[in-house]
Amino acid sequence: MRVSTRMIFTAITALVEGGSYPASAQEEPTNIIADQIRAQGYRCDSPQRAQRDLQASRPDEAVWVLQCESGSYRVRLVPHLAAKVEQINNSQAGSKRSGRCLKQPVRIFAQPLL
Q: Whole domain around residue 78: which residue ranges?
A: 5-92
> How far from each other are the two terminal CA atoms of the chain, in whole angstroms?
18
Is there a domain that residue 79 lies in? yes
In DSSP notation, 22-68 reads -HHHHTHHHHHHHHHHHHTT----SEEEEEE-TTT-BTTBEEEEEEE
Q: What is the mean pLDDT of the chain?
A: 75
Is there a domain that residue 73 lies in? yes
Is there a domain that residue 12 lies in? yes
Is there a domain that residue 71 lies in? yes
pTM given for the model: 0.59
Q: What is the pLDDT of residues 36-60, one digit of tens each?
A: 999 999 999 899 999 999 999 999 9
Number of domains in the chain: 1
Is there a domain that residue 102 lies in? no
